[in-house]
Every structure is written in C-alpha cells, then in structure tokens.
Amino acid sequence: MGWCDPVQNRWMVFVACIWIECCAGPSYGFSIYSQAIKTRFGYNQQQLDTISVYSSLGVFGGLLSGLLNQCLPDWLVLLIGSLHNLAGYTIVWLFVSGRLPVPPLWELGLFTCIALNGSLYFNTVSMVTSVNNFPDNRGLVAGLMKGCFGLSSAILSTVWKVLFPDSDGSDYLLVAAIVPSALTFLLMPIVREYEADNSENGSSRTMQNLALASVPMVFLAVFFMAAPFLDGNSLQAIKTRFGYNQQQLDTISVYSSLAFFGGILCGLLNQCLPSWIVLLIGSPHNLAGYVVLWLLVSGRLAVPPLWELGLFTCIAMNDSLYFNTVSVVTSVNNFPDNKGLVVGLMKGCFGLSSAILSTTWKIVFPDSDGSSYLLVAAIVPSAVTFLLMPLVRKFEADNSENGSSRTIKNLALAAAPMVFLAVFFMAAPF
C-alpha cells in the first residue's frame, strides 16, 4: 500500500496524527492567560500557583483516555476528546473573560484541570495508532509525535496573536477551545490502524517517508525560533533577573516549547540504542541544561543575549523527551495488548510530574523567587532516571488469558498511587 493510494492508508493516518499532535498542547500555554486570571480574580501568587498545580493533574484524563482507547474505536475517542476540550476551555474562558461570575478558587482549579485534560485524548490516540501502524519504527514515531506535541504551544500562540493581537491572554482560551477540537473533528475519520509493510523494501520506504514527513515540521520549528512575537510559558524570575519586557519573555517561551528537534533525536537514538543508554544520555542532558539556566537566572553567570538564553532554554526543555519516549515505547512493547491504557497512564503521570516537582521545590526552597526551581528540575529527574534506568528493558508479554487478566489488575494497582497523589495535590494549599 503506497503513499499515493486514496486516503485509506497508514501514511495518511500518520499525517493526520501529526497535525492533531501539532494542536494538542494548549496546556503548555498556561502562563499566557495566567496574568488575566490574576487580574480578573485578584489572586496572589500563591493562589495562582494552586491553579497551576490543578492544571498539571493529568493522571485522571490519562486513565480515562487510556481505558476508552482500549474499548472504543479511535474516531469515537477523538470525538469525546474534542467535546471535552471544547467544553472545558470554553467554560474557563467564560470565567476569565468576565462573562460568568467569579468562582471559588477550587472550582476554577477543577475546571482548569478538566480543560487541560482534554488534550490527553488526542495524544493517547495519536501515539497508540502511530506505534501500531509502524511497529518496527516505534521509537522514531513516538519521538516525532512528542516533538509535534511540543510545537503545538507555539502554533496555538501564533494563531492567538494573529486573531487577537491586543488580547490580555483570556482569548487564548477561546483559541485553545476551538482550534484543537475543530481540527481533530475534521481528521478523526482518517485515524485508524492498518497492517504494516514488513518487507525489506517496505522498511526502507518507511524510514524515508518518516524523514519526509518530518521536514515541514523542521521548517516550522525554525520559523518559530525566529519569530519575536509569540507567547508561552515563562518564569517570573527570568523577567526580574534580566529586566525583560513581555515581548522578550514571549520569545523565550517559544524557544522552550520547540521540542521537535529533541523529539527527532531521541526517537532516532531509541531506534538504534538500548533503552538504558538513551536514558543515560538524557540524564546529563537534563542536568546540564537546567544547571546552566539556573546559573544564568540566579545571577551566577553574566546576562546572555536573548537568543542565547532562548537556546539554552530550548536545550533544557528538550531533555524530558528522552525520558518520555523511552518510557512510552518500552511500556508499549511490554504490554502490546494494553497499549491504550499504558500510554494513557504514561501521559497522566507525565502531567503529574509538574505538580511533584513544584511541591519538591516549595519544600526545599520555601522562600525562593522561582530560580531555584530550575535547580530542582535539573537534579530530581536526572537522579531518579539514573537510579532506575537499569530496570528499563523489553520483556516478553504474557499472552495467555490469565496473564491478560493479571495485566489489567496490575496496571490498575500501578495507577492507584498516582490517583491518590493527584487527589493530594488537589487538596494541598500551595
């Protein structure tokens, strides 16, 4: 089955999944509208931090999207995700834009959590469908998907800036509600599984076509690195330390979301190296990237040019792709009959990681201005990965009926601590 065959082939599915991923990351744009939340509701920084923690609790959406992916067709899961995303972000937009009365803090946090969990449906279906359609190239495919997901924040920010150039940030929520939902709704009939071409020539064509598929994304990433007018995630400490205005801070935030290059690199490495070596490369990458940022932001190194700080930010933010790609690919290989649930769990835990690191930072540095968070982000993921990487490897799956039953039970047990942890963070008065 070739690339030029009518719509019904795995390459069209792959392209559809790429574009769904390219708009599936509105959750990365929290700081775009965080100032609007602060102004609209009169929140202090501690209350805003609480909303931010709610926004990172993706474990519930990961579990739900994974379970649905196990038992429903891909298009139906994407339809549910589109409606979830549309409803969640629209409600938050109505609150932040002043069209609904001011809610209690916990209620706004809950709706924010619901809204940001919508993208997990898109991400789970795209990832599972792509690794099923390209079983011999799972590492590269997972890396490409993760890279496109990283680009999505910059893409949505650009759409927002073009449509609402004078917005205070609240209208980004409207863009986040409509664009991913509409695009997914249009593409969902294409997304399905197909038999892979396992012949030698087919394998060669697969690598070539995957490389061709990544070319437009590379140009898009380069464009965003040169665009000085976008918005995204930011640290108050960076703004204070370097005296940046909002436009300069926006440029830094765009660099931080350009994970596409890291996605390609870690995907290729995962194709040809053992998992523990890829994790070993990722750990010092993470440590070095965030330590350099910490030295710059904390004033221990001289103020760099804007582009240089953006470049170091991009390098630091790309490190998590090593961890995420290896974890997803290894888990999918080890649980081939439960790919949806496993990917959903991985995505949920990844969403939870921000709350875990934020809590660690608050405990270790209770009076920090935020720069020391970079030190926590450098040390904790690197140390944990370094300690656990000898355990990460592929095993033969138990395909017997009893084994399958045990698999579901054990996956449920594995998810239980994450659920309790998520509930704790929702109740914690940060």
| Residues 128, 332: Cα–Cα separation, whole Å | 8
Which helix (H) or strand (E) segment holds residue 169: the answer is none
Tokens of 270: 């995962």
Give the helix ranges, DSSP H, for 257-371: 260-272, 275-297, 306-318, 320-334, 339-364
The pLDDT confidence band at residue 256, using thresholds 50, 70 and 90, is: low
Number of continuous H segments (helices) and E segments (strands) in the chain? 19, 0
| Residues 395, 275: Cα–Cα separation, whole Å | 12
Predicted confidence at residue 3, as pLDDT, reads 42
Mean pLDDT of 398-413: 62
Residues 254 and 227: beta-carbon distance below 8 Å: yes
Compute how many other C-beta atoms are within 10 angstroms of the C-beta atom of residue 301: 12
| Residues 175, 214: Cα–Cα separation, whole Å | 25
Class of domain 10-195+228-427: mainly alpha
Predicted confidence at residue 387, as pLDDT, reads 92
Mean pLDDT of 35-45: 81
The pLDDT confidence band at residue 421, using thresholds 50, 70 and 90, is: low
| Residues 237, 373: Cα–Cα separation, whole Å | 10
- Would you call 15 exposed, middle or buried from its count of C-beta atoms within 10 A (0-12, 13-18, 19+)? middle
Closest CA to 172 of 43, 27, 355: 27
CA distances from 246 to 142, 185, 227, 252, 288 (A): 34, 34, 14, 10, 27
Residues 112 and 36: beta-carbon distance below 8 Å: no
Predicted confidence at residue 78, as pLDDT, reads 93
| Residues 17, 125: Cα–Cα separation, whole Å | 8
| Residues 10, 7: Cα–Cα separation, whole Å | 9
Residue whose pair of structure tokens reads 């933010």 in the numeric block: 317
78-89 in b/e form (b: 16+ CB < 10 A) is bbbbbebbbbbb
Q: What is the pLDDT of residues 215-233, one digit of tens each?
A: 666 666 655 555 543 333 3
Mean pLDDT of 37-65: 75
Q: Where are the domains of the chain?
A: 10-195+228-427
DSSP 7: S
The pLDDT confidence band at residue 429, using thresholds 50, 70 and 90, is: very low
Mean pLDDT of 56-82: 82
Between residues 381 and 49, the one the model is more confident about: 381
Predicted confidence at residue 174, as pLDDT, reads 92
Q: Does residue 307 have a pLDDT over 90?
A: no
> Residues near 101 by Cβ (< 8 Å), separated by ≥ 6?
none
Mean pLDDT, rounded, of the chain: 78
Q: Does residue 43 have a pLDDT over 70?
A: yes
